[in-house]
Structure 1
Amino acid sequence: MTDLHLHGVNASIALPMTRRAQPDFPALRDYVGWVVDQGADALTVNADTGEGAHLSLEERTEVISTVKDVAGETVPVVSGLIAAHTAQAVEYGRELLDAGADGLLVFSIPAFAGQPLPDELVYRYYAAIAELGSPAIAFSLTRELGGALLGPELLTKLINDELIVAVKDASFDPVTFVDTRNAVRAAARPAAVLSGCDNFIYESFVLGADGCLLGFAGLAPGLTREVLDLVRAGDYATAEQINRERMQPLAEAMFAQPLRNNRARLKESLIALGVIGNATVRPPLLPLTSDDRSQMLDAVKRAGLIEVGTHEVL
């Protein structure tokens, strides 16, 4: 199992769609080129931001092959692995890897629901996926969003037994994030802590994230890169100011309630930036109301991503 070298900005990207809610692959190619040019170190497709759960397996594999063709060999492409049970996860994982994915972001399955969740159940699921021989990223996601938080002891064991190479922490809780960080640091093998906490991106960098895996970075990869680089350089004052004035207000607008609208908000923003031409999301997701659209575009302007009346990325 090889390391994906995910110590940077991994952008979980949207999937542009036609007005008939079909994947728009020419638009996807343009979008991927823009994200890479903005400074993303890696790309994740077929995840929540990319409406992965709403896609057929055939569509997911075509998304991978399209993105991989644009990104080339210098930018890793991770695919979300969204399945219902172990055998299906292995089947889907094999297809996603054959399509060109460099690694898998492993989502929770229905069997993870409910308390208590035995570590053995989760461990066996990851062990089966590891048999595919591809780097895997554990997705520790708050239960309020349909995921499961993976405890420190389990995470350390998954790393030590070479079942995962990184953890995406989307607990949205700083105490839990620190527990995840400590579990990864306690492991005998190296692994990356990736922030999935859009509600405290800057703070998660200060707390020791090696990088991030964020839907926010699918909108503002350059801004995310700038703040991460400043934190790494020890310029916390500048990083905090940029976060306070530009990054966090934009993240809060993108992930405002109802949270499910973040995909449509992202697409509307990309239209304003001149990156894509259509904001369609796949049903049952709904388009934005005019008020929600206006609020999101105001946040994009306030963040300095676009000047009024232009498509200039800053």
Structure 2
Amino acid sequence: MANFNFHGIIPAIAVPFNDDFSVDEPELRRYARWLARQPGIVALMTNGHTGEVFSLTARERAGVTRVVADAVKDICPVISSVVCEGINEAVEHAAMAKEAGARALDIMPPHHWLRFGFRSEHCIDYFTAIGKASGLPLVVHVYPAWTRASFPSALLAELARLPYVQAFKIGTREMNKYARDLKAIREADPAKALLTCHDEYLLASMVQGVDGALVGFASLIPGLIHDLLQAVADGDLRKAMQVQSLIDPLKDAVYGAGEPTGEAHGRMKAAMARAGILRSATVRPPTQAPSRSELDAIDAALRHAGLQQRDAA
């Protein structure tokens, strides 16, 4: 299995759309190259929630990965998320992603697990089948503790022992369990990378001892997240708190008091357009564009962070 460096910042990349909701491939290519060159970026991830994956067909998901992987082939590798309902479909999507240029796969829980739950052996079988078929390093996408697709700490340890699993994208969002999860994975295999995906409270999750961040928020503020991760790594809490104070108004404007959602991704894309990072803030239905009051909050947060209309060429 090929080596892959998961230690650093991995943005879950947003996807620009044309006015007719088709993927704007030239803009995606330009944006991917700009993002990949930002400090601390070790990879890009396609087909995450930030990339509005549930609005994309299987063919489009592979197409997005192909465009991004080709655009950044001389800069960094690409991870593609696999979002499927069964093993056969997941193996098929994994093969499409690999053919499109993905060098690792982020595996989300099948969404029927959210409704009906699952057994631990279901999860092990799912990851094992994808790992064996693809031969690519796998990232375990850990869902919030309050969902029925949450993985118990003992299961995370079991997943950490699989040779196919190389990293964990941890979005537990309940700090006691988050600490237990990190400890269980570290004890099972300390070589496996631990990545926070807590966009809405980055500092609190980073100081628990992680190796990086795999977050959609890095599509908008890669520089601030890099500065925050570096300050935490240096043990400079004062600097970390200063950086987090720049992030907080944007976090509130994008995510509000909750977790990342479709509408939050719409607000983040609006922020990206207003900061000059993307040409357009178009989102695919049913996600809706922000209201006037939400845009005002975004503008104020961008001014606070000094991020208005920067050059993303």
| TM-score where L is the length of structure 1 | 0.92
Query: Does the 8 Å CA contact 2:5/2:42 hold for their aligned counterparts?
Result: no
Query: Does the 8 Å CA contact 2:159/2:165 hold for their aligned counterparts?
Result: yes
Task: Please name the residue that 2:127 is paired with.
Answer: 126
Task: Please name the residue that 2:213 is paired with.
Answer: 212
**Alignment partners' CA distance in 1, 2:296 and 2:156:** 41
Structure 1 pair 111–267 and aligned structure 2 pair: CA distance change class (3 A): closer
SS of aligned partner of 1:113: helix
SS of aligned partner of 1:311: coil
Mapping for residues 290-305 of structure 1, pairs under 5 Å:
290-305=292-307
SS of aligned partner of 1:84: coil
**Alignment partners' CA distance in 1, 2:51 and 2:118:** 28
Mapping for residues 48-59 of structure 1, pairs under 5 Å:
48-59=49-60
**Alignment partners' CA distance in 2, 1:207 and 1:240:** 15
Query: Per-residue CA shift, 1:4-54, capped at 9, x if unaligned?
Result: 211110101110000111100111112112212322221111110001121
**Alignment partners' CA distance in 2, 1:164 and 1:143:** 21
**Alignment partners' CA distance in 2, 1:99 and 1:41:** 19
1:248 aligns with 2:282: no
**Alignment partners' CA distance in 1, 2:287 and 2:145:** 21
Q: Displacement of 1:81 after TM fit?
A: 0.4
Structure 1 pair 267–237 and aligned structure 2 pair: CA distance change class (3 A): same
Q: Displacement of 1:173 after TM fit?
A: 1.9
RMSD: 1.9
SS of aligned partner of 1:165: strand
Structure 1 pair 41–287 and aligned structure 2 pair: CA distance change class (3 A): same
The aligned amino acid for 2:43 is A
Query: Does the 8 Å CA contact 1:30/1:275 hold for their aligned counterparts?
Result: no
Task: Please name the residue that 1:94 is paired with.
Answer: 95
**Alignment partners' CA distance in 2, 1:7 and 1:218:** 17
SS of aligned partner of 2:165: coil
Task: Please name the residue that 2:161 is paired with.
Answer: 160
Query: Per-residue CA shift, 1:185-241, capped at 9, x if unaligned?
Result: 111461011101123211211110110110111100011001111111121111112
Query: Does the 8 Å CA contact 1:3/1:165 hold for their aligned counterparts?
Result: no
Task: Please name the residue that 1:197 is paired with.
Answer: 198
Task: Please name the residue that 1:34 is paired with.
Answer: 34
**Alignment partners' CA distance in 1, 2:257 and 2:232:** 29
The aligned amino acid for 1:241 is Q
Structure 1 pair 196–23 and aligned structure 2 pair: CA distance change class (3 A): same
Task: Please name the residue that 1:77 is paired with.
Answer: 78
SS of aligned partner of 1:139: strand
| TM-score where L is the length of structure 2 | 0.92
Query: Per-residue CA shift, 1:119-147, capped at 9, x if unaligned?
Result: 11111111111112111100111266x67
Query: Does the 8 Å CA contact 1:106/1:139 hold for their aligned counterparts?
Result: yes
Q: Displacement of 1:154 after TM fit?
A: 1.2
Task: Please name the residue that 1:66 is paired with.
Answer: 67
**Structure 1: gaps spanning 5 or more residues:** none
**Alignment partners' CA distance in 1, 2:96 and 2:123:** 22
SS of aligned partner of 1:252: helix
Does 176-185 or 146-155 show the bigger shift? 146-155
Q: Displacement of 1:111 after TM fit?
A: 3.8
The aligned amino acid for 1:105 is D
The aligned amino acid for 2:193 is A
**Alignment partners' CA distance in 2, 1:192 and 1:248:** 26
Query: Does the 8 Å CA contact 1:172/1:199 hold for their aligned counterparts?
Result: no
Q: Displacement of 1:110 after TM fit?
A: 3.1
SS of aligned partner of 1:228: helix
**Alignment partners' CA distance in 1, 2:219 and 2:310:** 17
SS of aligned partner of 1:250: helix
Q: Displacement of 1:304 after TM fit?
A: 2.0
Mapping for residues 209-288 of structure 1, pairs under 5 Å:
209-243=210-244, 245-256=245-256, 259-288=261-290
Does 169-178 or 208-217 show the bigger shift? 169-178
**Structure 2: gaps spanning 5 or more residues:** none
**Alignment partners' CA distance in 1, 2:116 and 2:285:** 31
Q: How many residues align?
A: 308
